């Protein structure tokens, strides 16, 4: 199984970002999307200058087609197709109708508290709708099936009082979503009362400010670390990985984590 690994690039406002190309052939291209970058233009992007789709197109000199999405604050492996036909095939593989399990997405998250062991979160989610983009969509739809497998990798504690607790606790969690609901991982971890650090929608309003002050940066601590799938043309298994970027590594160092993947 071919595996391609590179280090995350960080988004800067000062200059046009140059994205790391993790994988490219005649049909597909995968890049390392930094946190803070939209995949493509949307009604929420009026103040944004750069988008992953346009950046990739300009870098490789070819039009690209998105086949899945990563939230703006999430970093990691982002895949595009180079033709409409391949885009359709890959979109079908990513869709909920895909029963052949030909795609496996692996995420890692830094969460509040000590979340131990491993388990399957089987918790239905109401569809998350945008006020503007989905203004004509019914709000009365029943909750949809949503499943996320998690595994605790390591934990740490800082002897610093915060709120009613005498220490600050963190866990590094590996996550394998079995379905693809919007914000699924973020909402599932919040449901377990172990929200992702830096999550302004579902996170902890005490932990997030503390993290910014203690670690020196503001960011959603969620990374799409690996994407594995069956190639739509060659039928070969492909695995594309990114490394934890400098900010992740800085957190690992401060928490005294030495982790091999």
Structural domains of the chain, with CATH: 3-254 (3.30.2350.10)
Is residue 2 predicted with pLDDT exceeding 80? no
100 vs 185, higher pLDDT: 185
Is residue 12 predicted with pLDDT exceeding 90? no
Per-residue pLDDT reduced to its tens digit, 167-210: 999 999 999 999 989 999 999 999 999 999 999 999 999 999 99
Residue holding tokens 């949503």?
Answer: 146
Distance of CA 112 to the CA centre of its chain: 17
Contacts of 154 (CB under 8 A, 6+ apart): 171, 172, 257, 259
Of 8, 47, 58, 71, catalytic: 71
- Told to judge if 71 belongs to the known catalytic residues of this protein, a careful annotator would answer yes
Min mean pLDDT across 48-52, 85-89, 120-124 is at: 48-52
N residues, the chain: 261
Is residue 6 predicted with pLDDT exceeding 70? no
Residue 103 has a pLDDT of 92
For the segment 120-144, the average pLDDT, to the nearest whole number, is 73
Give the CA angle between residues 226, 185, 123 to the nearest 5°: 130
């Amino acid at each position: 199984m071919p595996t391609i690994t590179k280090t995350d690039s960080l988004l800067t406002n000062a200059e046009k970002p140059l994205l790391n190309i993790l994988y490219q052939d005649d049909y597909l291209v995968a890049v390392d999307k930094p946190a803070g970058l939209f995949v493509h233009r949307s009604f929420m992007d009026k103040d944004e200058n750069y988008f992953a789709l346009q950046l990739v197109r300009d870098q490789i000199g070819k039009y690209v087609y998105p086949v899945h999405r990563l939230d703006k604050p999430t970093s990691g492996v982002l895949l595009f197709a180079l033709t409409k036909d391949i885009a359709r095939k890959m979109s079908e593989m990513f869709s909920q109708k895909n029963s052949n399990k030909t795609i496996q997405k692996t995420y890692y998250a830094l969460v509040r508290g000590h979340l131990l062991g491993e388990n399957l979160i089987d918790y239905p989610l109401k569809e998350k709708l945008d006020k503007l983009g989905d203004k004509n969509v019914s709000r009365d739809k029943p909750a949809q099936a949503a499943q996320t497998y998690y595994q605790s990798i390591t934990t740490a504690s800082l002897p610093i009082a915060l709120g009613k607790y005498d220490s600050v606790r963190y866990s590094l969690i590996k996550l394998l979503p079995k379905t693809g609901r919007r914000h699924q991982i973020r909402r599932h971890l919040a449901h377990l009362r172990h929200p992702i650090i830096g999550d302004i929608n579902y996170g902890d309003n005490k932990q997030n400010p503390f993290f910014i002050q203690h670690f020196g940066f503001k960011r959603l601590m969620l990374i799409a670390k690996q994407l594995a799938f069956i190639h739509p043309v060659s039928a070969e298994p492909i695995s594309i990985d990114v490394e934890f970027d400098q900010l992740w590594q800085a957190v690992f160092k401060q928490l005294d984590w030495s982790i091999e993947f």
